[in-house]
Amino acid sequence: AQSVTQPDIHITVSEGASLELRCNYSYGATPYLFWYVQSPGQGLQLLLKYFSGDTLVQGIKGFEAEFKRSQSSFNLRKPSVHWSDAAEYFCAVGGGSNYKLTFGKGTLLTVNP
Amino acid sequence: NAGVTQTPKFRVLKTGQSMTLLCAQDMNHEYMYWYRQDPGMGLRLIHYSVGEGTTAKGEVPDGYNVSRLKKQNFLLGLESAAPSQTSVYFCASSYSTRGAGDPYEQYFGPGTRLTVT
């Protein structure tokens, strides 16, 4: 069975600082990997995705993520955080023929001015 | 193009009451999903559908039923609501055979906040 671990429940950074959110997955074959963002009271918006090819993927809002098969990781990064990035971030993994995603429990990002 | 819409946005039920949540999508997607989101638990899959007339159980199906009579609609029913079903419910859809979309890339609705007292 596939699973996702987001080790950090809550991260606080200062505006302008760099950000890295961790995601570790478990899946037997090449996974489909996603990062979603959820602003308070809103639905989930796709930030970026990895299916194959270049292991460094670019997303919206200046985010990027790197797939590392050897570490079973798909960490999300941003070089300079803006106050509007404050939200909850979810990593998800998919694979197999049932087209389901398994989500991590999320990381809440707080941005200090 | 409205994407995925959910009705209602908010609802308060008393224990034992029933209700139906409606999810509609206008992207001609084949697959649809119902999740619940609880603090610290992430999103957990309740039921899903891979096509009109088909449904399947997800991770937490107990106490819920679903139907997909039309391709664009996916209904989630609570026959006898319990306080443990207080949650935010999200619907999602994916994969159009007419487009280049990937079946794993899900599009989410805005959510329904349900409180059961």
Which chain A residues touch B91 with a CB distance below 8 Å?
Answer: none
By three-state DSSP, how is residue A62 classified? helix
- How far is B29 from B27, CA to CA, in rounded Å? 5
Which chain B residues touch A106 with a CB distance below 8 Å?
Answer: 40, 42
CB proximity under 8 Å: B 46-105 to A: 48, 50, 56, 58, 90, 92, 94-95, 102-105
Q: Cβ contact (<8 Å) for B104 and A103?
A: no
Q: What is the pLDDT of residues A36-45, one digit of tens each?
A: 999 988 899 9
CB contacts < 8 Å between A and B, how many? Answer: 52
Spans of chain A, pLDDT less than 50: none
Q: What angle do CA A57, B35, A65 make, to 5 degrees?
A: 10
Query: Residue B98's pLDDT is what?
Result: 61
Query: Residue B73's pLDDT is what?
Result: 97
Nearest residue of chain B to residue A39 (CA atoms):
B110
Nearest residue of chain A to residue B113 (CA atoms):
A41
